[in-house]
Amino acid sequence: MISLFGMGRLRSRRIVLAVTIIAILSLVGFSAGCAKKKEKFPSKAVTFIVPMSPGGGVDTMSRGIASYVQKYLGQPLVVENVPGPGSVNAIAQVMKAPKDGYTIMAVTTPIMISIHLYEKQMALAKPFMESWKPIFAFLTGDGNGLAVRKGTFKDINALVAEAKKRTLKVGGATGFGSSDHATLLQFADAYGGSYDYIPHGGGGEAMASLLGGKIDALMISLSGDAVDLSRVDILGVSIADRFEGYPNIPTFKELGHPELTLNWAVGAYAPPDVPDDVVKTLETAFDKAFHDPDFQKWAKQAKKPIGTGWNAKQWGDFLKGYEASALKILPKMQAEMQKAQSGK
């Protein structure tokens, strides 16, 4: 038989146990709530790695859209330049960072050449297109123009005629495997003549070489800040139709070479293993930023051929298609790079 005193002690213990259990459950619930809150993406700034030096088309466009993307992300999108041939340095830096979506990269069309040209340096565990995740392409109507110093060549035919007499030095804003290099190789096939590709550390540096007479011509992106029609003539450009920002520049297509319609693009990619829901959040922010009336206005005033913009699937599909055509000129690029490295 339990005394009243004993029953009281038992009841007290049960009450203490119940209170303890409630407290523990509350703490667990609070902790889970905090964890859930911390997992919300993004909760801090996102780093946007640009594999080029400042001033070129990729850098200019990445910085141009960044302020609009962060408007929809709710966190800063910080552009960081990591230049180097073939995007090798940039890819290495992105791969070292946690795969949480807080470090993404600007990707250009020529990466489909670089992943083969610099395969050993990149040392990717899986093929790029099978592992990296497309986000959004925010420059889809750009092309390369062949620029010369004001008054040096009347037109394309005059330049080609000179290239058949001597080897012309044609610069590019970036290294071997870039869109500048690819366009020059295809230009040479279409028009004939002899050309040496001279890589530079950025659009500004390349333009300085042209204006200083160190090179004869320059393949340059229309979207780059280095384009200055008061000091250069652009003899032709590799887009399908004349760009409204530069209506007096003819296309290679209308000059009789439709095979030189070489659209190239710039967009964002996430490294392997970033969660799909995080990639989707980034895609949505880039999409909204691209279609923001203020961004569209900025692009028009800055004369940037942004095109229509591509979602993740469109961006990935475009690069897959480009890779097939890029492989056709890969042997020539490899030969030119080996020649340059040997100093011959």
**How far, in Å, CA of 285 to CA of 186, rounded?**
36
Q: Residue 281's pLDDT is what?
A: 98
**How far from 191 is each of 109, 241, 248, CA to CA, in Å?**
23, 20, 21
pLDDT band at 273 (very low <50, low <70, confident <90, very high): very high
CB contact set of 139 (below 8 Å; sequence gap of 6+):
57, 61, 223, 265, 266, 267, 304, 305, 306, 307
Judged against a pLDDT cut of 60, whether residue 146 lies above it is answered with yes
Judged against a pLDDT cut of 50, whether residue 178 lies above it is answered with yes
CATH 3.40.190.10 location in the chain: 144-262
pLDDT band at 134 (very low <50, low <70, confident <90, very high): very high
Q: What is the CA radius of gyration of the chain?
A: 27
Instruction: Count CB atoms within 10 A of the CB of residue 255.
Output: 17
Q: Residue 244's pLDDT is what?
A: 86
**How far, in Å, CA of 29 to CA of 278, rounded?**
25
Question: What mean pLDDT do residues 159-180 have?
Answer: 91
Q: Residue 123's pLDDT is what?
A: 82
The length of the chain in residues reads 344
- Asked whether the beta carbons of 168 and 196 are under 8 A apart, the reply is yes
Q: What percent of the chain has pLDDT over 70?
A: 87
Judged against a pLDDT cut of 90, whether residue 205 lies above it is answered with no
pLDDT band at 277 (very low <50, low <70, confident <90, very high): very high
Judged against a pLDDT cut of 70, whether residue 8 lies above it is answered with no
The model's pLDDT over 230-246, given as tens digits with 9 standing for 90+, comes to: 889 999 999 888 988 88
Q: Residue 344's pLDDT is what?
A: 60
pTM: 0.78
CATH 3.40.190.150 location in the chain: 46-142+263-335
**What is the end-to-end Cα distance of the chain in Å, rounded?**
106
Average pLDDT over all residues of the chain: 86
Question: What mean pLDDT do residues 121-147 have?
Answer: 91
**CATH code, 46-142+263-335:** 3.40.190.150
Question: What mean pLDDT do residues 325-344 have?
Answer: 75
**How far, in Å, CA of 223 to CA of 206, rounded?**
15
pLDDT band at 110 (very low <50, low <70, confident <90, very high): confident
**How far, in Å, CA of 44 to CA of 102, rounded?**
8
Question: What mean pLDDT do residues 280-293 have?
Answer: 98
Residue type, 228: D
Question: What mean pLDDT do residues 79-83 have?
Answer: 94
**How far, in Å, CA of 306 to CA of 116, rounded?**
27
The model's pLDDT over 310-329, given as tens digits with 9 standing for 90+, comes to: 999 999 999 998 887 777 77
Q: Residue 113's pLDDT is what?
A: 85
**How far, in Å, CA of 198 to CA of 12, rounded?**
87
CATH fold of the domain at 144-262: D-Maltodextrin-Binding Protein; domain 2 (3.40.190)
